[in-house]
Each structure stands twice: as C-alpha cells, then as structure tokens.
Structure 1
C-alpha cells in the first residue's frame, strides 16, 4: 500500500464506509473471533472469510466462521441503510474463490426509510449469559422473528415442547462432554476465553458470569469467568429457544443463516430483550443429528439461540479489532488471499 494511504481512514477514505464498517464489525462471531476481512473499492465492499481465524477444534468444517461473516454482512446492510444508502448484495459471487463470501454494491438511488431503532440496536446488543427474568417472550415478537427468517429461506422453530426441550438440554450436555474430552478443544477454548481488559478479540472474562446452575436455563459453554454479576433469585428463567435450519447444508445457506441470526438478535435487542447463542450441540456431529431428527427431520439445524428478558445491570461490550486490522484496499491483496483459500 502506498505510504500515507489508508483504504478506510486515509485521504481517499469515505466517512460513510468508515461508519458502516465500524457498525458491521460489531456483529457477533464464534468466540468473538471476528473472522472477516473487508475489501474497500470506489463503490463496492467485498466480504472475505479470514481462514487464519478459524477455530478448527470448535468449528472443523468452517460453518460457524461463515455464519459469523453472514452476521457481519447483515450488520453492514443495516448500517448502510441507516446512513442513507441502498446496498445490493451478491453472495458467493466467485465460485473459484471460496473465501469471497459477498460483494456489496453501494447504489446511488433513494433508499427506503431505514429502521433507526434497528441501527441503534447494533450498539445495544450483547451476548448475555446471565439469568433471564421469569417473563415469557411475546408471541407476536416470535411471529415477527419467524417471518424475518422465512423471507431469507431459513426456518425458525421455537422449541416449546417440554420433552423436546429436555432432549435439547441433554444434547448440549453431551456435546460439552464430547468437546471437553478433546485436548485440542480445551486448548482452543482457553486461548479464546478469559481474555483480560484491553484484548481486541476473544471472550472477556468480565463478560461471563461465574459458573452455577440457574433454574430453567439451558447449559452454557464453560468459558473462563471473572464473576459478572449473576442476579439472584429462585424463579426459573423464561427463555425462548429458537432453532434455525435450512433445506440444504451449503456455504451459501450458512451465510444466509448468519444474516438471519443478525436480524433476529438486532430485532430482539430493539425490543429490549437479551440473547445468547447455544451452538455446542451443533458443533458435534451426533448431537447435531439428534436435533435434526427431533426437530427438523427435513432440514439441517444451523444455529440455536436463547432470548429472554434480561436481568437488571449492564453486560459490558466485547472488544473489537481496529478497522486497520480487518480492512484492505480492493485489488492488491487478491494474490495473497487466493493462496490462503487453496
């Protein structure tokens, strides 16, 4: 890159692009790995997977990586709409480059009215692993979320049957046992969690409540914890468990699921609800198959979400990498990325 020229913030930088990318990079990702790279052109932005940030023990087939990038893609389109721009998305535009997940064109036309509350929700959303309150999620909101998923070709099942919810809890526990028996997984989890203040990625210790059983709460991943306040109470939490699935199991479907995941989490945050992913049973082949057979026999389960009314108090935002670490100018990096994708 020529001296003095930064693709985002330098003399050729566009303040709309800077603002949009800052919001896009607030997207959730597996272990807060932030596995995306952006290429900035005159009127286009390319989204690429960063294979150096894949978690092979947790995510052996790269599915969580692509889902994470899909969430960032949706965050970007929401941000651009909020900044008064129309975004046209081309997904997986180059079959010869598997890591090139999307190209976003910034269109010079009058955009439809943006959902300002959804844009604001980008800054409000947190992964909340604390106890949720004993209040049900409104059925009307669940219907809105299901409709949003359906528009993208993704099925959303609300797991309400007590027997199926119990099977789901057992699947989470079984998956945790399988993963904990793998030394590579243990090393990976230790490397990506329990991060101190000032870390740019990973799961901060201060964002995880101390371990302990919460009535009504499905088991959560055993991240290293620093004692985020866990609200006391005897009443069981009332959370909605949402399983997203697709008719096929391809990178394009994974990307779409990531976009839908972002849309659902931002909508929940807009309405004042908290959320956290429960991805462990989908990372182990046997438990993923169990969920498929019990809930979506004609599809492929991709993401499991827990949403509910949050307890009082703040969950600190997780850190994000500097834009300079995730953004390149469009063009010069292609040869290097072609090598990484092979």
Structure 2
C-alpha cells in the first residue's frame, strides 16, 4: 500500500468512526464546490476589463508556498505592487528573496493583461515595490494572456517525453530578460546531478524544525479550509487526498518523512523532460523581481505549449548548496534564484487565491 492510499484509509477509518459520512463531508467540504470557486477566480477577462480585473489576473501568478505576499494600490494611471511582510516565510526565505521573485511574477502577469486589454505601460522598481505606469490605447492581443488563468504549478510525475528543439527555443526566448540568465538542463546526466542537489536540500529542510513548522502553517488539507483562507498549499493540488484539518495534521506527522519526500522528488525529477535554472546578475531586489518576471514568462509559455512545470527550489533555499548548483549551471559566482522542472504531465486542481478585495491597499 502506498502512502497516499494509507492516508486515505487511515483518515477514513478514524473520522468515519467518530463522525460518520455526514461529519466527514461537513468538515471537509466538496471538491465540486472548490472547483467552481477556482473557476470563478480564473474566469477570462471581460472585453473591457476594469483595474480590479487586471489585479485579479496579477494574483494568479506563481509565488512561494502560495503565500501571495503582495498588496496592490491603484491610483489614476499607476498600479503599485507592494510586499506584504505579514506573509513572509523566514525559515525558507530569510532574506525575502522568494518574496520579491513572487512580486516579479505578479508584475509580469499585470503587464501582459493590461497591455492586451488597452492599458500599455512600463514596469519600474521603486524601492521595495513595483510600479506599473500606464496609458490607454488600442488593445494588443498577447498569446500569453490565455495562459495566465491556465497556468499552474503541477507537483506530479510527468511522462518523461523530450521536448522538440523549437519548443526549447521558445522557452529560452520567453525568459530573455536583462540581468537574468537561464540555463536549461535536458541531458539525463545533468538532470541526475541536479536531482541529487534537490534531494540533498530536501534532506536538510526535513531536518529543520523551523522549516517543518513553517510548512505546516501554510498547508491546507480540505476544500473548506483552502477556500476560507484563499492561500496556502492545498493537498488536492499535489495529488494527495483531502482530509479534515485536524486529521490532516495528524496524518502529516505520521507519514511525512524524509525518505518518502526523497523518493517523491527523485521520481518527479526523473520523469521531467528538463529543468530550468534562473540566475540573476545581481543579488538585490530589482534583480530578484526581474527573475520573477522571467520565470513567469517561461511558465506561461510552457503552459501555452501544453507543458507542466513545478518549482524544485531546495538547492536554492539551502545556502550551502548554491555554489555547487551555480557551478553545475556553468555560472560560478552567481547566486541561483529559481529551479523549475518541466515536461508533459497531468493537470491537477488549481491552487486557491484570495479575493482582490483582500489584497488592495
């Protein structure tokens, strides 16, 4: 019996004994209701979208732990994206690197959606925030627009099929951003070496009580909890069973092991067609935001090509592994910023998002 089945059986037995079928359903909520909620969040833009619609599309961007560490302020012809310090993850991201990468991802979504709907403009970094200053003009369709609501970080096994050279070229071109370097690993020996670094980073994190406590804080085990918070890592989005929140915490303590996670990441890396490593030419907020923009464009382009992607950032998050990762990428002296595997794979439920009203200043 695999761990997923064991979780399901243990959860069902424990809860049905105490509460029965009705108690289970009322404490967990329905996946059908969750899917309707996710569809509303990802509804296509209206022909003439309002500013709040553009901000909604910005919030669909990739971000660390699905903390959504951003706030938005709209005023006339500007939209500012500001960091939300209440959503920091100091154990995994002590210098707020991932936070500012996440702001860059949201900024790129905003730029694409606004330009495509008749509000072209430019992004600039203003201290800790990103400003989008725009005017009004004729809409300019962008093929990446349709990928924004369809993109997801798919934490599943892929099928291992290689990509065509032309598609790899499209991914490289999409991530072409000043100050950012992209290295693609597609040879199996290279991916194997990178896999070993990911696993080493995972082992280090699993041995860190602060990391585990922080991860637990952002886990959501039931559709009801995921919709109520609008954030965090919902178990269904990783292919795991849904459970009542108290039982989910117990199951995590029982079955979330270093060995199990090691096997999972080894399998997922082995099933991927390739891995992208993003490195910035500077270690500052402006460069981290640029990395976020580049990796968001990469992810949207991958989505448009029918590919899946997922972050495997352990060798970035464990500082002692960064020099070896940079050397493997042929970029010694630079700090690796993002590691993203990609390939052909299944779709999973979408991650939750907070309503626009919750992120407005």
Q: Which runs of 5+ in 2 are unaligned?
A: 1-47, 241-259
User: Paired residue for 2:183?
Assistant: 157
2:352 to 319, 330, 338: 319
Over the aligned positions, Cα root-mean-square deviation in angstroms equals 2.0
Distance 2:116 2:157 in 1: 32
Distance 2:324 2:72 in 1: 36
Equivalent residues of 1:146, 1:155 under 8 A apart: no
Paired residue secondary structure (2:175): helix
User: Paired residue for 1:106?
Assistant: 134
More helix by share: 2
TM-score (norm 2): 0.75
Equivalent residues of 1:70, 1:256 under 8 A apart: yes
Distance 1:68 1:47 in 2: 11
1:121 to 143, 147, 152: 147
Equivalent residues of 1:67, 1:258 under 8 A apart: yes
TM-score (norm 1): 0.79
User: Paired residue for 1:89?
Assistant: 123
User: What is the CA-CA distance between 1:15 and the residue it aligns to?
Assistant: 4.8
Distance 1:125 1:52, change over 3 A: same
Paired residue secondary structure (1:150): coil
User: Paired residue for 2:232?
Assistant: 202
User: What is the CA-CA distance between 1:53 and the residue it aligns to?
Assistant: 0.3
User: What is the CA-CA distance between 1:60 and the residue it aligns to?
Assistant: 0.8
Equivalent residues of 1:152, 1:260 under 8 A apart: no
Distance 2:213 2:179 in 1: 36
Q: Which runs of 5+ in 1 are unaligned?
A: 1-13, 220-235, 329-342
List structure 1 segments (4+ residues) > 6 angstroms apart after TM superposition.
Answer: none
Distance 1:82 1:327 in 2: 22
Distance 1:298 1:215, change over 3 A: closer
Equivalent residues of 1:158, 1:240 under 8 A apart: yes
Distance 2:265 2:231 in 1: 31
Distance 2:117 2:319 in 1: 42
Distance 1:190 1:215, change over 3 A: closer
Q: Are 1:283 and 2:317 matched, yes or no?
A: yes
Match runs of 1:170-209 below 5 Å: 170-197=196-223, 198=227, 199-209=229-239
